[in-house]
Chains A and B, each alone.
Chain A
Amino acid sequence: MMRASLIRILSRLGEAAAYSLPGRIVRLGVRTVTCLFDGPRTTVRQVWDILVQQVYFTGVETAPIAMMLALLLGGVTIVQAATVMPRFGSGDYLGAVMVLVVLRELAPLFVAFLIAGRSGSALASYLGTMKVGQEIDALESMGIDPVRFLVLPALLGCTVATVCLSLLFSAVAILGGYVVATLIATAIPQFVALHLPFGLFMEKMAGALTAVDAIILIVKPMTFGSMIALIACHHGLSVGISPHEVPQGTRKAVVLALVTVVFIDGLFAALFVLPQLAEMVP
């Protein structure tokens, strides 16, 4: 009797979790990943085309603004670091600062914010408009799975684009940081220690880079990109029949995507950085 009621309570809890917002997003994710392996072979061509479009829109079109942002951010990071570094004596820590601040945190986070604001909102409003205009129903009526046709390429495209943009962002931010460090060292004699030959600068940076950083550099943007795409697609496809729901869905998608990105960033910190800190405690 006890066991039966426990099973009933657990099944109700499971049902409630599955139909909650995170549950629905996870279910959409599972369905999308299933589509990757379980679809007619003929559909690959159409899905590939949309994937290329998505990568172009999310990655290539965002690249110039991401690069500009990265250049500025790399410079600002070095300027801020320069105010602290003389206390440590030299620019030996430049590489470590760039790895810690840019590669681990700023690059994935800024790129995720950029993509959530730009592509996440566009994706949610695009799908919402399609829903209102019965275009999703039209796809269904043609025997086309909207998840495979729209969500799968959006998810893959967004993930690939976020990883690529994040790498590009990191590279440009490091370059920007180096340029600004050199300029500061040239202009202000007290900061001459910041000036390093480019080869040495890269060497120090590579020295500061651990395997964990390399994993974070790839896995974090992957997670961010896929979550942004899933959240945007979920909110876009959840729009009802009225056009006024489209901007509402878009707003919800962007806000939730931003919150989720920060939350996941916290999880990554807890998973990867806290153990390192724990090791440093004597």
Chain B
Amino acid sequence: MNEQPLLPPLAPLPFNFEPYTETMTIASMRVIQCDDGPREYVCEARNLSYGWHADEPILDNVELKVQPGAFLIITGESGHGKSTLLRLLAGLEKPWGEHQGKVFLFGEDIWEVRTRRLRELRRQAGFVFQNSALISNMTVEQNIAVPLRYHTDLDENEIREKARFWCDRLLLTGHENKRPALLSLGMQRRAAVARAMSMEPRLLFMDEPLAGLDARNVETMLSLIANLRALQDVAIVMVSHDLQPAHLLGGQVSLLLDGRLRPPRGLGDLLNSVDPRERDLVRSQAGLKETQE
């Protein structure tokens, strides 16, 4: 890991967002419909089905392709399998029984490769859990250092430096030595992002990163996500009820309806979709009423 390039210096956080524009979508999610082979994508799901009963799939033949640097938001109603889909993509769940399908991370079928190889692939894919899932008996700095200490040959000073760097970038300076229980929800989320980003992954899964945060923390988190995307060129797959990220950061939105993942589209397209279910769902998630049309 010593040969890994040093991270670029901390860029100023773009707190003043420009509203959603077409130019912002240039770096956003693009799905190539033609089949160029799975190595084109950092993450891909093919015919992915999942459920507790054979005749009641939660996810039904989900198709998903994520390109390097893309930003995809998966949204849908509560309890309809968004988080499960994210866990399947990260290899934390596996279809069983009648349900099947394939998931590729960086071009490799995660259920075909050996466990050791899967762990190597996961090093390149961070995951931010809804409840942060920080190790409770470790400080913020120790949490961020866990993957670095486990996977790299960096000495303790370098690890500390890197952990401090990510604390700084995620606005956690001064809280490095606190345990997760002493942090606010927003700080916990940011610490979880810092931990996920410390290995400089090419792909970041985020499960409801904005849930339960107040407006100020939502703004901070969105700023940080924008900053990460600008500096790290990391592909982000985010599950969210909140469509503010799509509105403010660009990116494409995929709707999970009746277990099927609709093709990703821009927020503007979805708000004016001809399908009333899509339109209603997006409007409700975006906090818009029918009358505001």
Contacts and interface: CB of A to CB of B under 8 A. Distances in A.
A8 B41 CA distance: 44
A149 interface: yes
A138 B126 CA distance: 9
A130 to B, nearest CB: 7
Interface string B129-141: 1010111110000
A137 B92 contact: yes
A137 B151 contact: no
B153 A42 contact: yes
Contact of B123 (A129, A139, A142): A142
A142 B147 CA distance: 6
B147 A143 contact: yes
A141 interface: yes
A89 interface: no
B133 A134 contact: yes
A210 interface: no
Contacts of B150: 42-43, 46, 142, 144, 149
B152 interface: yes
B98 interface: no
B151 A40 contact: yes
A43 B135 CA distance: 17
Interface in B173-201: 192, 195-196, 199
A92 interface: no
Contacts of B136: 129-130, 133, 135
A126 B137 CA distance: 10
A140 B92 contact: yes
A106 to B, nearest CB: 34
Interface residues of A, number: 22
Contact of A143 (B129, B135, B151, B195): B151
Contacts of A49: 149
A135 B192 CA distance: 11
Interface in A20-66: 40, 42-43, 45-46, 49
A270 to B, nearest CB: 39
A276 B65 CA distance: 71
A214 to B, nearest CB: 38
A145 interface: yes
Contact of A45 (B129, B135, B137, B149): B149
Nearest to B115: A145
Most buried by B among A42, A130, A134, A141: A141
Interface in B136-174: 136-137, 146-147, 149-153
Nearest 6 pairs of A and B residues by beta carbon:
A141-B127, A138-B133, A143-B122, A143-B119, A143-B123, A134-B133
Interface of A: 40, 42-43, 45-46, 49, 126, 129-130, 133-135, 137-145, 149
A14 to B, nearest CB: 22
A245 B229 CA distance: 40
B120 interface: yes
Contact of A138 (B119, B121, B129): B129
Contacts of A149: 150
A134 B147 contact: no
Contacts of A135: 133-136
Given A46-B149, A133-B131, A133-B133, A142 B122 contact: yes
23 contacts: A40-B151, A42-B150, A42-B152, A42-B153, A49-B149, A130-B135, A133-B131, A134-B129, A135-B133, A135-B134, A135-B136, A137-B92, A137-B129, A138-B135, A140-B122, A141-B92, A141-B122, A141-B126, A141-B205, A142-B122, A142-B150, A143-B122, A144-B119
A218 B126 CA distance: 44
Interface in B204-238: 205
Nearest to B135: A135
Contact of B146 (A42, A129, A144): A144
Nearest to B122: A143
A218 B42 CA distance: 52
A142 B135 contact: no
A129 B127 CA distance: 19
A13 B90 CA distance: 35
A51 B137 CA distance: 15
Contacts of B192: 138
Contacts of B123: 142-143
A126 B135 CA distance: 11
Contacts of B92: 137, 140-141
Contacts of B147: 142-144
Given A42-B153, A43-B150, A130-B135, 11 more contacts: A45-B149, A46-B150, A133-B131, A137-B129, A138-B127, A138-B129, A141-B196, A142-B147, A143-B120, A143-B122, A144-B146
Nearest to B145: A46
A239 B78 CA distance: 25
A42 B133 contact: no
A175 B109 CA distance: 63
Most buried by A among B137, B150, B152: B150
A138 B195 CA distance: 10
Nearest to B149: A46
Contact of B119 (A129, A134, A145): A145
A139 to B, nearest CB: 8
